[in-house]
Chain A
Amino acid sequence: LAKTTQPISMDSYEGQEVNITCSHNNIATNDYITWYQQFPSQGPRFIIQGYKTKVTNEVASLFIPADRKSSTLSLPRVSLSDTAVYYCLVVRTGANNLFFGTGTRLTVIP
């Protein structure tokens, strides 16, 4: 399964848009890109998933270029409550076992 690489930490001010980029150079044709959010002492929460181009939901947008070797999670106008660890995962079609990397610790500053 493709290994993912993402920044260890990021800081942002409240109200700003945050973009977290993840690289997955060895992604396979039947892999999806999935993002999770985790608050301290809680289980991860599914945010968004995509295969290519752009996916948007009420929480975030996911941008995936044509070569699919990277993806960017975009959080519009973050608030203090968005302070969390964000994980980028590559999920193989037909598999239900998730492999979490180290994630990106996002700190939102007032």
Chain B
Amino acid sequence: KAGVTQTPRYLIKTRGQQVTLSCSPISGHRSVSWYQQTPGQGLQFLFEYFSETQRNKGNFPGRFSGRQFSNSRSEMNVSTLELGDSALYLCASSLYGQGGTTQGEQYFGPGTRLTVT
């Protein structure tokens, strides 16, 4: 089974621009979560989508948004980029919420490294 894929892997943007990152979950997984990882703040939860609905949201400003499509693929968007948005953005998919699964077991993709200049 193919793992979680994220595109693009690397991205360089300028302050003020916006960016869209894409995530394809493992086949059959309907839950997709997004995380931001920086050296200073570590790994932080952004939001989770399940069956096209946002189910959980972390403590990030409204510039960070996401969506999920009917095929469970997800995108996250960051508008008006700031230098502090430079980070590794990780997507994770999970079976949890679909019954009979180990909760807390998420499968992470390789991440998209975003650099804001």
Contacts and interface: CB of A to CB of B under 8 A. Distances in A.
Interface of A: 32, 34, 41-46, 49, 87, 89, 91, 93-103
B103 A93 contact: yes
Q: Which of A34, A44, A89 has the most CB of B within 10 A?
A: A44
Interface residues of B, number: 30
A37 to B, nearest CB: 11
B102 A49 contact: yes
A91 B97 CA distance: 14
B33 interface: yes
Nearest to A94: B103
A98 B42 contact: no
B109 interface: yes
Given A49-B102, A89-B104, A96 B111 contact: no
A44 B103 contact: no
Nearest to A46: B105
5 contacts: A46-B106, A49-B102, A96-B50, A97-B58, A99-B45
A46 B56 CA distance: 20
Interface stretch (B11-19, B69-77, B79-87, B88-96): B88-96
A87 B31 CA distance: 21
A93 B105 CA distance: 12
Contacts of A95: 56, 103
Closest 5 CB pairs of A and B: A43-B108, A91-B104, A100-B43, A34-B104, A97-B56
